[in-house]
Amino acid sequence: MAQIPDDSAPAVVVKHKALLTIAIMLATVMQVLDTTIANVALPHMSAALGAAQHEITWVLTSYIVAAAIATPVTGWMSDRIGQKLLFLLAVGGFTLASALCGIATSLPEMVAFRILQGLCGAMIAPLAQTVILNINPKERVSQAMAIYGMGVMVAPIVGPTLGGWLTESVNWRWVFLVNVPVGILCIALLLVYMPNSDKRNRRFDFFGFAMLALGIGALQLMLDRGSDNNWFESTETWIELGLVISGLWVYLVHSMTAESPFVDLRIFRDRNFALAAVFMFLIGMTMFSALALLPPLMQSYLGYPVMASGTLMAPRGIASMVSMLIVSRISHRVDGRAMMLFGAVVMSWSLYMMTGFNLQMDSNLIVVTGVLQGFGMGFIFVPLSAMAFSTLSTQLRGDGTSMYALMRNMGQGIGVSMVSAVLVHMTQANHAELAERLTSTSGAVHAYLPGLLSGSSSAVQTANSLVTQQAAMLGYIDDFLLMSVLSALSIPLILLLRKPKKSAA
């Protein structure tokens, strides 16, 4: 495995590291925030753009698919035109696309601008991580990753709350326009304080890129539309699955035989990077799935309004920030694997605690489990990111950060689709089972017995509503149990990681 030759010095020396780090973190927050902030504004967009409910979801789908396709190309473009120019183009394009989304007057316009936003935004996270790694010496990487991680971890949690407030208090268009001043500030800071980087004359592997884009794009499309199409009962889903398998298979075969593949597969020869990428995939499945499940659970079944549900999730983000700061302070004294093991156990236990949720509970359990998950994630994210690139050569960092981000995004997409499918299936199964268990001695039947015997439609509807709510709650519990098991199964990967050897100064 390749070793960075000098641990005592960063790969790139900068004079104003703090200001550059602020610019990088702001850009990351802006981009990650946008993955969730628009969700709550969809009903308002639908009315304003004259789009049907099934059509407006393309506002989300177009962004996700475009981002998935653009993420792997970041490494090649960074080498080809330089990190600074690409970073400026990515942030500038994202800011411009945000402004255009804010003034869009039709659904085709909005979808086109969201595609541009996804293409540009996908490059921000891997570029930010590469720059963080390059401008910090090895012993300072954990502290720098803690600052970067705050944006990555907190932004998705704040997104729905901020989006709801902007939509209700101002206008849904400000969900996008809020990015404009932040983007302009980032561009100014990057222009002044980010140094130029070396360029590499890498040949672009058009065939490899086409096959990878086909596979990843079809996968994201299948995951995003699968639920609406009843999954494999739909011909569209089977076609998309065929494109996923064929595209990724051809890409892998081509990459192993090509002289200059689109993504340098040597990154996966590095044991720590390969294991960390798989671990990040699993974390993406569990962490983002919990974030996706909680808002509808709180709003639809526990009776919390949008703003209140967002407020209850805020402690999760605060706990992540606290734990990341702790990790940055102790990282030079404590083995990163031990910190990750602690974080994974805490996160798995907190997910298991969520199986105790019920329709009559107060908000305390929501807050406690959220705080534990956020605290555990801080102990995972920072040392995992540092260890993933600790033995990867500087030359391979561009491809490494691109694929690392792609694995996280793929885990997120697959995880959210999986728990959504499980929720629908288990809710239906639980509803049928609960209905069969209703007898004349059941509490629900006894309470509504006179109305049920008289054939009162209101009594029947009320009893069915109670059964439906309980069935849905049990469906959520099944999902939480599944996530806790997946989180626990990822723990052995931590034990396989190797502690990086310190090079002689």
Residue type, 290: A
**What is residue 443's predicted lDDT score, i.e. its pLDDT?**
53
Distance separating alpha carbons of residues 243 and 213, to the nearest angstrom? 10
Q: In angstroms, what is the C-alpha Rg of the chain?
A: 24
Indicate the pLDDT class of residue 504, thresholds 50, 70 and 90: very low
- Report field, pTM of the whole predicted structure over 0.85: no
Mean pLDDT of 156-176: 80
How far is Cα 441 from Cα 453, in angstroms, rounded to an integer? 14
Residue 314: is it exposed, middle or buried by C-beta count within 10 angstroms (0-12/13-18/19+)?
middle
Q: Closest by alpha carbon to 322, among 284, 376, 256, 396? A: 376
The continuous run of DSSP H or E covering 223 comes out as: helix 206-225
Whether residue 419 has pLDDT greater than 80: yes
d(CA 317, CA 150): 8
Please state, in angstroms and rounded to a whole number, the distance separating the CA atoms of residues 409 and 404.
9
Across the chain, mean pLDDT equals 81
What are the structure tokens assigned to 504, written together? Answer: 């002689």
Q: In the numeric block, which tokens belong to residue 206?
A: 């058009």
Query: DSSP letter string over 430-453?
Result: HHHHHHHH--TTSHHHHHHHHHHH
What is the spatial distance between Cα 256 and Cα 205, in angstroms, rounded to a whole number? Answer: 13
Q: Which of 169, 74, 77 is nearest to 129 (CA)?
A: 74
Q: Give me the pLDDT at residue 439, please.
A: 53
Going by C-alpha positions, the residue among 136, 143, 188, 172 that lies closest to residue 397 is 136
Helix (H), strand (E), coil (C) string for 457-505:
HHHHHHHHHHHHHHHHHHHHHHHHHHHHHHHHHCHHHHHHCCCCCCCCC
> 215 pLDDT exceeds 80?
yes
Nearby residues of 210 by Cβ (< 8 Å), 6 or more positions away: none
Distance of CA 252 to the CA centre of its chain: 25
Please state, in angstroms and rounded to a whole number, the distance separating the CA atoms of residues 277 and 20. 26
Print the SS3 string covering 157-171.
HHHHHHHHHHHHHCC
- How confident is the model at residue 505, as a pLDDT? 40
Tokens representing 190? 């990057």
Per the model's pLDDT, the better-predicted residue between 469 and 182 turns out to be 182
For the record, the structure tokens of 356 come out as 């105790």
Contact predicate 10/137, CB 8 Å = yes
* Predicted pLDDT of residue 206: 81
Higher pLDDT: 328 or 110? It is 110
What is the CB neighbour count within 10 angstroms for residue 191? 14
Which of 134, 158, 196 is CA-nearest to residue 33?
158
Q: Model confidence at 210, in pLDDT bands (50, 70, 90)?
A: confident
DSSP assignment of 318-383: HHHHHHHHHHHHHTTTS-HHHHHHHHHHHHHHHHHHGGG--TT--SHHHHHHHHHHHHHHHHHHHH
CB atoms within 10 A of CB 182: 17
For residues 347 and 376, is the Cβ–Cβ distance under 8 A? yes
What pLDDT was estimated at residue 440? 46
Separation between Cα atoms, residue 252 and residue 20, nearest integer Å: 37
Q: How far is CA 487 from CA 345, 365, 420, 461, 480, in A?
A: 8, 20, 17, 39, 10
The DSSP annotation for 379-398 comes to HHHHHHHHHHTSSS-GGGHH
pLDDT confidence of 296, banded at 50, 70, 90?
confident
Rounded CA-CA distance 160/172 in Å is: 12
